[in-house]
Amino acid sequence: MPTRAVQTGLLDTDVSAVRFAHGKRLLGLHELGILSIRDLLTHYPFRYDDFSKVVKVVNLPLGQKNAVLGTIHEAKGRRTAKGGFLYEIAITDGTGVLKAVWFNQKWLADTLTVGKTIMLLGKVEHHSGYARMTSPLHTLVTSEPTSMPSQDHDKDILSVDSGPNPVGIAPVYRANGKVSSNWIKRIVLESRKLILEPLDPLPPAVRIKHNLVSRQIAWQNIHTPSVQEDYELAHRRLAYEQVFFAQLSFAFEDVQSQQGLCAYTHTNCEGFNTELAALLPFELTDSQQRAINDLYTDMASPKRMNRLLLGDVGSGKTVVALHALLAVSKSGWQAAMMAPTEVLAQQYASSLGPILDALGVSWTMLTSALSAKDRKEAYAGLATGDISIALGTHALIEPEVTFKTLSLIVIDEQHRFGVEHRHRLIAKSPAADFFSMTATPIPRSLALVLYGSVQASYLAHRPSKAATHTYFLDSALAYKAYEAVRKAIRRGEQAFIVCPFISAQPPGDDEDVLYLDDLEHFSDEPYITAAETELLHLRSKVFPEYRIELLTSRVKSEDKKRIMSDFKLGVVNILVSTTVIEVGVDVPNATTMIILDANRFGLAQLHQLRGRVGRGTKDSQVFLVAPKPGESARRRLRTLEKVSDGFKLAEVDLGERREGDIAGTRQHGAGSLSLVNVIRDSALIEAAHGDVVQLLEEDPALTLSKHLHLRQELFRMQGAGTN
């Protein structure tokens, strides 16, 4: 038998080396992303059909999924009134008769014939006086195992050995038209004959600490579990492995990036605090003060800071960032703060600019809208160090922008930037402290999965005492929302009306992007509501007496600035927009929002949007309007009515997700997290995080002999990227 090291090397052999993986089936495997034996073994079942608990026909409960074993004593097929084909069998197990029916599966007439022993798995219903299953899973049971069906008759049916539990727990794989779930099962079984005992990349101490089975046993039991407990142990081991390597990838890269860097040490972080407190029209919340203290501690350290601030909408992240910017200025160095949109960058200028001016701190704003003359002056001031702070958009990463001593980089709404954008800004000063912020509240467990070794601070509470009430309305009742807008304007307040798209056509390259936190939430209905058509409708039919403006990504920069200024001044009554207002818009007098076609947005984005109101002292209201949404969308919209805390909302949302269904979790070098649910597996994620920290403290470069295979596995994963 080949050595364990040789067997481990075979994991990266082309999958075509496995018996049955050829021809049409091989093409099907490739379409599923299965190129190697490793890919095959990590193509885990997405569900299991439990044939192990056989119930007698006489005891079958209605409406529940159960397995029944019996003999076919009647079988017939016929054409339906609509020209389809119906095939029906009746089986008996000595206690009663059960019927089963399938539609448009004519091939079953050659397979399910009288006298054969069959096992059915499905839900039972009453039909014409009989117990019946509709389209149940089925397995023929014979005294001798038979060969696989030919490719021409590649149906999801297997003949198996008879016994007390002839099938047991049957895995079901994601498949396609070229290779079925049962063929994948057979090919997986064949692959395990080639690789009996590969090396386990997890250190023995870690496996012992958490009572984890070996990788080989886990692979065996996740593909062919004998009992539920086998699957659970396998799932726990493999989910831990996925999280462990995801975090190790981040942490190892962070450790390596620190090598040879001479980080900036900010020694006078609190220098402006007294003067700043006098300028702020509010007192800091406890969580804001804790976040600022976290920043000061990191910035004073000789180690490069890498901190993430997670805050609910309206929780006051910008003022926390301001304290960091001022600490840099007091040290005599420079800082850059980058926003994903021009609207948000303009918000920096209007909210932070006057404070910086009052404190005598030089600053500039860089966006694509800046004139050539102003851009040239900004470039010169940053290059010489005469300008301390640069606020801006992607314009900050342009090659022409250079800094004399850039010691702090701040990225707001960092998930809206690509990895390349972040790296291009960091490349301007690799030793600079790094501080990122997001208004998407997520639990600590998800933050660890997404951001690995980044240290996190949280802002859990909004400084405002105003309440925001959310209401879901069917589109037939949308008039109630428009009437609420009218009443708000009569009180001297303002409103937002948000649409999913700019125009009545599907989004193109210049459309505002829907950052859906779950693509399944996207509706298949025709595009109904668009900002441009809604603007015309409101101006001509609904609110002709009020001033209404449009704000989308297509609006020119100078017009955006004018429209936002007029809206803040109260000159504009209603702002019709897309998701361009999702971040960075702070108008305390805006108290009412209507989100049209709300079923087209994910929970996180709807929460972000409603955070644009309720930013002052007046209570606010948000109307989620949707045209007859499905049950899933209706449940999500009703959740927003009841839950206002963004962190709790994230837990509700993530708790309902399927395993691995996490936006952004397929990070570079992290591999797949297909078995992980961040709410259910939070303790496992915390455990893996602690193990990674301890491991790299002991062996930062992973050069100890006991970590050799671990290092090889990590480098293999990082080289594979997001395969």
Residue 259 is predicted with a pLDDT of 77
In this predicted model, what pLDDT tens digit does every residue of 477-532 receive, in sequence order?
999 999 999 999 999 999 999 998 888 654 444 444 433 333 333 333 444 578 99
In this predicted model, what pLDDT tens digit does every residue of 47-68 receive, in sequence order?
888 887 789 999 999 888 889 9
Instruction: Report the C-alpha gap between 353 and 160 in whole angstroms.
Output: 74
| Overall average pLDDT of the 112-122 stretch | 92
- Whole-angstrom CA distances from 645 to 311, 467, 586, 604, 681 are 11, 12, 19, 11, 22
In this predicted model, what pLDDT tens digit does every residue of 450-477 receive, in sequence order?
777 778 898 877 776 678 999 999 888 9
CA 125 to chain centre: 38
Residue 205 is predicted with a pLDDT of 93
Instruction: Report the C-alpha gap between 318 and 349 in whole angstroms.
Output: 12
User: Tokens 């593909």 sit at which residue?
Assistant: 223
Give me the residues paired with residue 87 across strands. 77, 102
Instruction: Report the C-alpha gap between 531 and 555 in whole angstroms.
Output: 12
| Alpha helices by DSSP H, 359-506 | 372-384, 419-426, 444-451, 478-490
Residue 663 is predicted with a pLDDT of 44
Residue 687 has a CB neighbour count (10 Å cut-off) of 17
| Overall average pLDDT of the 163-181 stretch | 78
| Overall average pLDDT of the 170-175 stretch | 91
| Beta strand pairing call for 574-577 and 97-103 | unpaired
Q: What's at 143, amino acid-wise?
A: S
Whether pLDDT at 653 is above 90:
no
| Alpha helices by DSSP H, 538-645 | 557-569, 603-610, 631-642
**Assigned token pair, 627:** 């045209």
In this predicted model, what pLDDT tens digit does every residue of 9-19 receive, in sequence order?
889 999 999 99
- The order of strands in the sheet holding 334-338 is 363-366, 389-392, 334-338, 406-411, 433-438, 306-311, 455-459
Tell me the pTM: 0.72
CB 597 within 8 A of CB 627: yes
CB 98 within 8 A of CB 120: yes
Instruction: Report the C-alpha gap between 198 and 7 in whole angstroms.
Output: 5
Residue 259, phi then psi, degrees to nearest 5: -65, 125
Q: What is the mean pLDDT of the chain?
A: 85
Length of the chain: 723
In this predicted model, what pLDDT tens digit does every residue of 543-559 receive, in sequence order?
999 999 999 988 888 89
